[in-house]
């Protein structure tokens, strides 16, 4: 009985000794811990074949709706990326194609810097904006030789706006700019006013030469200040050296002065003038004289003929010349008992003459 008591005491001492002894640290062998055995706590200085953790504070938060992280450093994203919020890019964006969906009226597409196109080998030729779809591709691009902005479509400005070069209006809705001095216009509408400085040419028919100050219609080499030509004939209006004006034909053609498309005065190419209508002269007329007295309506320097009868003024009967019966010579030197004149009673050279109208003694 005493042995049993002694053995029980030894057992109690052994149990107490085991109870008071510090438990040894558990030994976990490599690759012997399953992830199912970990719950909660912090794992520091973590490393795996694909992950190295060097952070001293929490960086990555994983929730059911996704991964939450402030900064991502990545060289390449292989898959498609959908950004539901705003995308703030502090650097540059390089893209082969940029597609922007239509947005509602209350949302604005904004840029805070110019849209830049960089070409290959420092040349931006062929770069610009292209719209695809529809019947054909629409373009607004930079072309070369010479370099210019080229559009495949019409450019439509808002009313009251204008095209400008160097800050000056070139063309507006209703007018050309004042700086436009040269043009190759082929046709125009109705002009209210036209001011031409220099030459002008209308269909190689109506011309003005500013150097010679000559206006011509149908004449290549005009001979007057104003020249009108037709076939081989030329009509001119031109000043003379004695400060007068000349008007008429430059060529050998005659000249008709007409009213109601009827010739009233005809000047033949030989210089002969024919008056073809009834004529009234309001002043005295002189023929063959430079100066004549105004007390006579008609002053003639030589013989006259009316009703086929010749009247002449001589100091005696004619001694030569061809005369007809009835021709009269008036005495230019009348004397008492002489005659007022002589009448031809038989034609001839000079014919037979008899005095008439004896002057008293």
Classified as helix, coil or strand, 163 is strand
Q: Give dist(CA 113, CA 92) in Å, integer.
A: 11
Contact 205, 220 (CB under 8 A): no
With 0.75 as the threshold, say if the pTM is over it: no
Q: Give dist(CA 84, CA 187) in Å, integer.
A: 58
* Residue linked to tokens 């000079």: 350
User: Which tokens sit at 360?
Assistant: 């008293």
- DSSP-derived secondary structure for 97-145: --------TT-----SS------GGG--TT-EEEE--TTS-EEEEEETT
pLDDT of residue 311: 95
Is residue 146 reached through a cis peptide bond, with omega within 30 degrees of 0 on the bond before it? yes
pLDDT of residue 5: 78
Contacts of 143 (CB under 8 A, 6+ apart): 125, 126, 149, 150
Residue-wise pLDDT for 15-68, tens only, equals: 877 777 777 777 777 777 777 777 777 777 777 788 888 888 888 888 999 999
Buried b (16+ CB within 10 A) or exposed e, 90-126: eeeeeeeeeeeeeeeeeeeeeeeeeeeeeeeeeeeee
pLDDT of residue 171: 92
Contact 225, 213 (CB under 8 A): yes
Q: Give dist(CA 274, CA 265) in Å, integer.
A: 6
Contact 207, 201 (CB under 8 A): yes
Contacts of 334 (CB under 8 A, 6+ apart): 340, 359
Q: Give dist(CA 255, CA 265) in Å, integer.
A: 8
User: Which tokens sit at 146?
Assistant: 């010479």
Sign of the alpha-carbon dihedral angle for 236, 237, 240, 246: positive
* Residue linked to tokens 């976990």: 28
- Of 221, 226, 198, 194, the closest CA to residue 210 belongs to 198
What is the enclosing helix (H) or strand (E) of 309? strand 309-314
Residue-wise pLDDT for 100-145, tens only, equals: 666 554 556 666 778 888 776 778 888 899 999 889 999 999 998 8
pLDDT of residue 218: 94
**Which residues, given as ranges, of the chain have pLDDT below 70?**
1, 100-111, 120
* Residue linked to tokens 């105004």: 294
Sign of the alpha-carbon dihedral angle for 13, 19, 24, 29: positive
Contact 129, 117 (CB under 8 A): no
* Residue linked to tokens 């001839």: 348
Alpha-carbon torsion angle 231, 233, 237, 239, nearest 10: 120
Domain ranges of the chain: 123-156, 198-279
Q: Give dist(CA 142, CA 120) in Å, integer.
A: 13
Q: Give dist(CA 282, CA 32) in Å, integer.
A: 146
- Of 143, 106, 147, the closest CA to residue 128 belongs to 143
pLDDT of residue 313: 93
Q: How many CB atoms lie within 10 A of CB 237?
A: 14
Sign of the alpha-carbon dihedral angle for 160, 161, 167, 171: negative
Phi, psi of 124, deg, nearest 5:
-90, 10
């Amino acid at each position: 009985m005493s042995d049993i008591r002694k053995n029980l005491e030894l057992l109690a001492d052994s149990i107490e000794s085991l109870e008071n002894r510090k438990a040894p640290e558990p030994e976990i062998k490599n690759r012997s811990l399953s992830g199912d055995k970990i719950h909660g706590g912090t794992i520091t200085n973590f490393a795996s074949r694909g992950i190295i953790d060097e952070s001293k504070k929490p960086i990555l938060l994983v929730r059911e709706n996704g991964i939450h992280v402030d900064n991502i450093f990545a060289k390449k994203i292989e898959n498609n990326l959908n950004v539901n919020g705003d995308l703030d890019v502090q650097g540059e964006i390089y893209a082969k194609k940029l597609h922007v969906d239509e947005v509602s009226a209350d949302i604005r597409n904004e840029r805070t810097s110019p849209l830049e196109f960089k070409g290959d080998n420092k040349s931006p030729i062929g770069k610009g904006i292209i719209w695809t779809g529809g019947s054909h591709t629409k373009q607004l691009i930079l072309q070369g030789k010479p370099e210019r902005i080229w559009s495949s479509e019409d450019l439509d400005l808002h009313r009251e706006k204008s095209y400008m070069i160097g800050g000056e209006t070139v063309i507006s809705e209703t007018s050309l700019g004042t700086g436009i001095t040269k043009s190759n216009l082929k046709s125009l509408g109705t002009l209210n006013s036209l001011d031409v400085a220099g030459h002008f040419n209308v269909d190689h028919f109506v011309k003005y030469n500013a150097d010679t100050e000559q206006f011509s219609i149908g004449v290549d080499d005009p001979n007057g200040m104003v020249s009108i030509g037709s076939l081989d004939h030329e009509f001119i209006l031109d000043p003379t050296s004695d400060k007068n004006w000349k008007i008429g034909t430059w060529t050998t053609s005659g000249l008709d002065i007409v009213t109601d498309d009827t010739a009233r005065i005809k000047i033949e190419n030989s210089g002969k003038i024919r008056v073809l209508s009834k004529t009234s002269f309001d002043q005295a007329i002189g023929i063959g004289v430079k100066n004549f007295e105004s007390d006579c309506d008609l002053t003639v320097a030589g013989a006259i003929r009316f009703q086929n009868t010749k009247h002449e003024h001589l100091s005696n009967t004619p001694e030569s010349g061809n005369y007809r019966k009835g021709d009269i010579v008036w005495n230019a030197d009348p004397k008492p008992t002489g005659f007022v004149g002589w009448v031809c009673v038989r034609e001839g050279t000079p014919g037979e003459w008899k005095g008439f109208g004896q002057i008293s003694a």
